[in-house]
Structure 1
């Protein structure tokens, strides 16, 4: 699977030998599925009524500024691959049905991590769904501003 990468992402995400960070790991075999912001917002809003059935994973690293979608955890993409098994086990034990990944625009790191997770679930078995938030955090902020965000910093998004 080939995922397009922006040159500015390469500058901040290269290994010591100059190759991109993800070349240290296998290429994903699967294509991730996407979920739109409105569906994620509905999950967040219904969480209190139905209980938690999803996990939001922000895979940004040095660009993790300006806030994150409410209740997200931050697992930087460069460290995600080795933790797939643990994430899968924790989600299974907690009754999580959907793991939703995002990065800046969800066109590189988010889809790559979601595909790695999907590959792992297919190998290990189970019904955990691995999804990508369409548009990433930038799409979320464009749609919702600071609503349903933790640590929202308006000045960051005005740039």
Structure 2
């Protein structure tokens, strides 16, 4: 097991719990949201989320991700929250890899956003402070966000990962 303070399988956090962190005043800097969406990232994201696709969580890349985005943080990170579109495939996969990494600093809790970006969007649609980069959001974008698993609108890397390729 890696250095994570959580059990071997990362736990989920609700959108409300993540929203409390995102909207806290004064702003908290001991957590990081990592959005692992790829082609489905464009059009909007949770404020402050770092976009790192699942390709960046292979063993060598994962160590680079930890060295670049996690270890140098001051104050130290205490919480990593990962998600993809629905937090069913890519987000949990990347969270598990991070939680199991011996390079992860001691005391960092790895969590998964329950419902992913799709759940976040459903819950907070219309609240501009809960999103960044929504400029390109239109009906077609929203259709992609709301697409079901396995639809033709699903990102290819999600489909490949689910199918074990």
Do the two structures share a fold, i.e. TM-score over 0.5?
Answer: yes
1:137 corresponds to which of 117, 130, 135:
117
Choose between structure 1 and 2: higher helix proportion: 1
Q: Secondary structure at the match of 2:32?
A: strand
Q: 1:146 to 1:74 in 2, by over 3 A?
A: farther
Q: Secondary structure at the match of 2:85?
A: coil
Q: Secondary structure at the match of 1:42?
A: helix
Structure 2 unaligned spans of 5+? 1-7, 145-165
Q: 1:50 to 1:61 in 2, by over 3 A?
A: closer
TM-score (norm. length: structure 2): 0.70
The CA deviation at 1:64 is 1.4
Structure 1 unaligned spans of 5+? 1-29
1:79 corresponds to which of 56, 61, 64:
56
Structure scoring higher RCO (CA < 8 A, sep ≥ 6) equals: 2
The CA deviation at 1:79 is 2.2
The CA deviation at 1:151 is 1.1
Does 1:92 find its partner at 2:48? no
8 Å CA contact 2:98–2:104 kept in 1: the answer is no
Partners of 1:43 and 1:135 lie apart in 2 by 17
Does 1:127 find its partner at 2:115? no
The CA deviation at 1:124 is 5.3
Determine the structure 2 residue equivalent to 1:108: 89
Aligned pairs (5 A) from 1:28-39: 30-39=8-17
8 Å CA contact 2:57–2:98 kept in 1: the answer is no
Determine the structure 2 residue equivalent to 1:3: none
1:63 corresponds to which of 40, 43, 50:
40
Q: Which moved more, 1:129-138 or 1:145-154?
A: 145-154
8 Å CA contact 2:57–2:94 kept in 1: the answer is yes
Partners of 1:93 and 1:112 lie apart in 2 by 24
Aligned pairs (5 A) from 1:46-61: 46=24, 48-49=25-26, 51-61=28-38
Deviations 1:4-57 (A, max 9, x none): xxxxxxxxxxxxxxxxxxxxxxxxxx32211111011000111x4153111111
